[in-house]
Structure 1
Amino acid sequence: MNRLPTWLILTLTLTFLIGPFLIIIAAALSAGNSLAFPPQGLSLKWFIKVFTIESFRASFAVSMGLAVFGTLAALALGIPASYAMTRYRVPGAEAVKLIVSSPIIVPGIIVGLALLRYLVLPTGLGMLTALFLAHTALVLPYAVRVVSASMENLRTDMEEAALILGCTRMQAVTKVVLPNIRGGILAAFILGFVTSFNQVPVSLFLSGPGVRTLPIDMIAYMEINYDPSVAALSALLAFLSIGIILAAERFLGFSKYV
């Protein structure tokens, strides 16, 4: 009898979390011409139509490019920063960590408005460049946190042994440190990629004609069309994200790093 409330709470929680996703899938399978639940019959035609919409293909390429290169840029900045903060006594390290974490602490809509007002408009940056810088800044906190956690778990005597055996500091980093934290680096990349690809508030301010990320293009599409193709695309993106996370957990032990 004591277990009943626990199972009830668990069931309600899972329903709250998974219920909207199941509704979206059901709406995407509708045979009708408008987005509705319950579905009007069953059909896969809207999943097929997703791949025929030109704007979705173009914005998918933009989102993919931003997610990949923005995350790589964040790692290029985050790995040296993580190494410095975990291996040396850096003055103001806590303040640096707080500043680096600010993009995920401050609401995204404020970050987007601030970047538009104080970076894009005064400098005349192109939209694609502004989006790249914004996505890099948004992913940087995840890169620093995950890589720092991996470096803190790496024994320092391994690096010291490499130095004693004749390696330079750079060789010790490239031949000892980086190979031993590659799981953390890959986990940071995956987390950053998923975060960047699905990012909405900042991209909303920095997108424009001809340059849109996929989530923003989906919003614009729904302003004109109200068919289940958006639900179908949402379901596909959700499956993609879930697949990436499950694969990362299976092969990297993703939960160890986040």
Structure 2
Amino acid sequence: MSTRFPLTLVLWLVIVFLIGPFLIIVAASFSAGETLAFPPQGFSLRWIFKVFTVESFRESFVTSMILAVGGTLVALVLGIPAAYAMSRYRLPFSETVRTVVSAPVIVPGIIVGLALLRYFVVPVGIPITLALFLAHTALVLPYAVRVVSASLANLRSDIEEAAVLLGSSRLGAFFRVVLPNIRGGILSAFILGFVTSFNQVPVSLFLSGPGIRTLPIDMLGYMEIVFDPSIAALSALLAFLSMGIVLMAERFLGFSRYV
């Protein structure tokens, strides 16, 4: 009993440390006051409804959705063949390739954003919208490769070989046997990449410009001018959205098996 109590106490302290800020934001989003504060001043839903009336939030939400969905799809198109090649064949410098693919996760996002802005957007003249899309794709690519590789590791290679022996081409076996059997991993990679891209701040901060702003960057700009509870309301809605996506993925796909 004497050993169990300290461990239980530590566990609850960790839970409070992780969940506490989220609960504070949720409580502040229902405040009836005019400024963002905790504890909330009364109870009101008006800041929840105001989120949907701010035009810049709607526009930046669409931008973030396009970047997250488009960037993740492109990352999967590139990452699935790469994961397949590294899982099924003995490639030279395979460990070096894995390290390079993982570089966007290892290197801080603020460095990636600054490098793209300094060496591609400014001197080369790449449109900032294209640079932002490429940056989000590069940031999501490591997740696509890693998650799909984990799914391929659980798929027996002799199933694919059996399809080839029965007359299927190697490409046909890939589309008819491999892809259907790793669809759970692919969907998990898409969800993980989508959430990562949608919530991305450091890279988007450097590559956002006039007429192109993601939702997190728009929220930062909004707080510089207005300090009302609508930011807390929007943060709570986004948190619930992310949690809902992850919980559904765990419920129907077994998300934790791949990440």
- TM-score by length of structure 2 reads 0.99
Q: Aligned-residue CA RMSD in angstroms?
A: 0.6
- After superposition, give the CA deviation of every residue in 1:48-70 in whole Å (9 maximum; x if it has no partner): 00000000000000000000000
Q: Give 2:185's aligned residue.
A: 184
Q: Aligned partner of 1:168: which letter? A: S
Q: Aligned partner of 1:17: which letter? A: L
Q: Give 1:252's aligned residue.
A: 253
Q: Give 2:199's aligned residue.
A: 198
Q: Which runs of 4+ in 1 moved over 4 A?
A: none
Q: Does structure 1 residue 223 correspond to structure 2 residue 224?
A: yes
Task: Tell me, in whole angstroms, the C-alpha distance in 1 between the residues paired with 2:213 and 2:168.
Answer: 47
Task: Tell me, in whole angstroms, the C-alpha distance in 1 between the residues paired with 2:18 and 2:11.
Answer: 11
Q: Aligned partner of 2:8: which letter? A: W
SS in 2 for 1:167: coil
SS in 1 for 2:41: coil
Q: 1:65-214 residue pairs with structure 2 within 5 A?
A: 65-214=66-215
Shift of 1:181: 0.3
Q: Give 2:240's aligned residue.
A: 239
Return 5+ residue gaps in structure 2 as ranges: none
Shift of 1:6: 1.0
Shift of 1:210: 0.9
Shift of 1:160: 0.3
Q: Aligned partner of 1:182: which letter? A: R
Task: Tell me, in whole angstroms, the C-alpha distance in 1 between the residues paired with 2:4 and 2:213.
Answer: 49
Q: Give percent identity, aligned residues only.
A: 73
Task: Tell me, in whole angstroms, the C-alpha distance in 1 between the residues paired with 2:129 and 2:66.
Answer: 10
Task: Tell me, in whole angstroms, the C-alpha distance in 2 between the residues paired with 1:247 and 1:123.
Answer: 43
Task: Tell me, in whole angstroms, the C-alpha distance in 2 between the residues paired with 1:256 and 1:100.
Answer: 21
SS in 2 for 1:31: coil
Shift of 1:233: 0.2
Task: Tell me, in whole angstroms, the C-alpha distance in 2 between the residues paired with 1:176 and 1:203.
Answer: 38
Q: Give 2:16's aligned residue.
A: 15
SS in 2 for 1:81: helix
Task: Tell me, in whole angstroms, the C-alpha distance in 1 between the residues paired with 2:193 and 2:114.
Answer: 21
Shift of 1:209: 1.3
Q: Aligned partner of 1:153: which letter? A: N
